Amino acid sequence: MEYISTRGQDGPLGYEQALLSGLARDGGLYLPVSYPRFGEDEIRAMAGLSYAALAGRIMARYTEGEIDEDEMTAMAADAYAGFTDPDVAPLKHLTGDIHVLELFHGPTIAFKDYAMQFLSRAFDRALQSAGKQAVILGATSGDTGSAALEAFQGREAVDIFILFPDGRVSPVQQRQMTSVDAAGAHAVAVAGDFDDCQAIVKALFNDHGFRDKVGLSAVNSINWARLMPQIVYYFKAALELGAPDRKVAFSVPTGNFGNVFAGYVAMQMGLPVERLIIASNRNDILTRFFENGAMQRETVTPSLSPSMDIQVSSNFERLLFELLGRDGARVAEIMARFSDTGQFDLPAEAMKAAHEEFAAYRLNDEGTVAEIAASAEDGMILDPHSAVGVSAARRAVADGTVPSGVPIVALACAHPAKFDSAVTQATGTPPALPPHLADLMDRPEKMHHADATADAVRDLVLARRRDA
């Protein structure tokens, strides 16, 4: 399998080259030259596979010529061996046609574990094969950082630096990052918001001298290999609900567009998906885009669902590439305009294609609290991000966006204890952390602080990486 850039000036590369590169050298994002597609009989044959075997079968289609299905399955089995639920990603019924996919049974109790635990094994394999060292640089609105630091801590071939917006992640999210005390693991509090952190990451990837000097790579969802493991749980949930003989819809709390794009890829691979529902909080740039066809950046406003407090959804560029017929030059022009002006719009034919596959809803903080309370009455405690997704699912049923009888899977992206303040506000009862994290808030913190500039972070990386 070969990979090309969304901006048309980089690639084709092999899988491990794309993995280690992270962001394309032309500033774009890697995508496979084509999506492998499963027939209905092939999808039926997946029923009953273990989660690891399912992961191996799906992901091996993207590593053909480099890693075979047996090795991918073994890597997945190792990655998910420590998850606390034997089903890895259990599917629970909530009410009516709505089901909830619990994606918080990994070590950091957030959906990012599904990708990050696998990715650390993939990096180990690739770096050992190439005899290289790497610096991983990432930005997080909360969950990516803790999952990455947990997965990559102490690995001899990798130094990892995770940028997070100072004061804009939950106390549990921060402590999960800053309590990691291992060689090569660095949590960095940046004096800005998530979009500032992400802009720094992109700037440093576009500094090719620095990039080559330190062997820079990425574990944010800008890295295609981060998205691959997330495709798996869409297949897993749909199979449980009758795919390929029954369509399924998905409602996805959405910030950086990576998780929902993995669902889009599952569709391209043959999974019968009725609709992908984008669920936004008050930072509703994506909902506004699907309403009026215009992407318009605004100021990020803190909310009860901080991992979605984003106004620049990096992975949207991948969908843009598809909506524009894979025209890299056109994508590059639009992204340059967005960088300069904070806005762009798309022609009617592109929006028509988008509306055939996606719907979008927003939910403010008051609505989030109300949904947590309502879901509690239905017998399930949700974190505020998952509540945004469930609320969107309810509305998609109510307004007919998803036809009656079609099951909707709402992705529960984090354990409620990660956001105990919002949950307590809604239910009156603080949720308890799972046993392996019971002492988290008593663990000592270790972190760096940096101004919201590429220069400040560059200097920090150069000073702190182990082969400096």
What's the Rg (C-alpha) of the chain? 20
> What residue type is assigned to position 408 of the chain?
I
How far, in Å, CA of 281 to CA of 273, rounded?
23
**What is the sign of the dihedral through the CA atoms of 64, 31, 82 and 181?**
positive
Q: Prior bond to 244 cis, omega within 30?
A: yes
446 is catalytic: no
Which is catalytic among the residues 92, 112, 213, 247? 112
- DSSP state letter for 157: T
Identify any residues that bridge with 296 across adjacent strands, giving them in sequence order: 343
H helix or E strand, kind and range, residue 19: helix 15-21
User: Which segments within 134-194 are labelled E, that is strand?
Assistant: 134-139, 158-165, 185-190
CB 389 within 8 A of CB 79: no
Nearest CA to 288 among 254, 323, 265?
Answer: 254
How far, in Å, CA of 278 to CA of 280, rounded?
6
Q: Prior bond to 12 cis, omega within 30?
A: yes
Phi, psi of 360 (to 5 degrees): -145, 140
- DSSP state letter for 427: H
CB 324 within 8 A of CB 347: no
How far, in Å, CA of 265 to CA of 240, rounded?
19
How far, in Å, CA of 376 to CA of 77, rounded?
33
DSSP 115-138: HHHHHHHHHHHHHHHHT--EEEEE
Nearest CA to 88 among 224, 235, 236?
Answer: 236
H helix or E strand, kind and range, residue 274: strand 273-280
Instruction: Report, as residue numbers or ranges, the catalytic residues.
Output: 112
